Chains A and B, each alone.
Chain A
Amino acid sequence: DIQMTQSPSSLSASVGDRVTITCRASQSISTYLNWYQQKPGKAPKFLIYAASSLQSGVPSNFSGSGSGTDFTLTISSLQPEDFATYYCQQSYNTPYTFGQGTKLEIK
């Protein structure tokens, strides 16, 4: 199975800050990398696929990059509604494993 490792596990930041979350795959997954946002008590919300393609309706302050084994999710200017937990997921092959999550908290 492909292991997905996110860093950091948690992050404190302020509104307006730029933050970057990293996701590393245990083997090359090309660009088969998704990002999801989850708020407490809610189902995950899809944000980005193919490492850098933004879902329609997702604010443009979200961006993704990377290929092979190393990927990043960047939020260029944090908004109050962005404080949540973020997960990466590889869709290269089954099982479609998730990273352990990064909890983004208000400083």
Chain B
Amino acid sequence: QVHLLESGPGLVKPSETLSLTCVVSGYSISSGYYWVWIRQPPGKGLEWMGSIFDSGTTFYNPSLKGRVTISVDASKNLLSLKLTSVTASDTAVYYCARPGHGDGFDYWGQGTLVTVSS
């Protein structure tokens, strides 16, 4: 059974870089599929942030204007997210996820809340 668990600092200061990791268990992260980061600001909808394929190819949400980087550390079986120059609008619950059936995201982490505040 694939299990994903996000972790990172719960509080980040404005203009700093938000860094999160997603530890994957039950599946080798380099064995295929692709992985995504999705977030949900308080009281708002879901937003796809980006995807990374096992080839290393990445796709990012253009609305994040080049602030986002997604990477994989195969040796640690984890997925990483970096978001630079954060503002209060980046306050959200951040999820990592992976498809299992077709193009739908079957597997999700529990989510981690990140608050941007001084």
A in complex with B: no
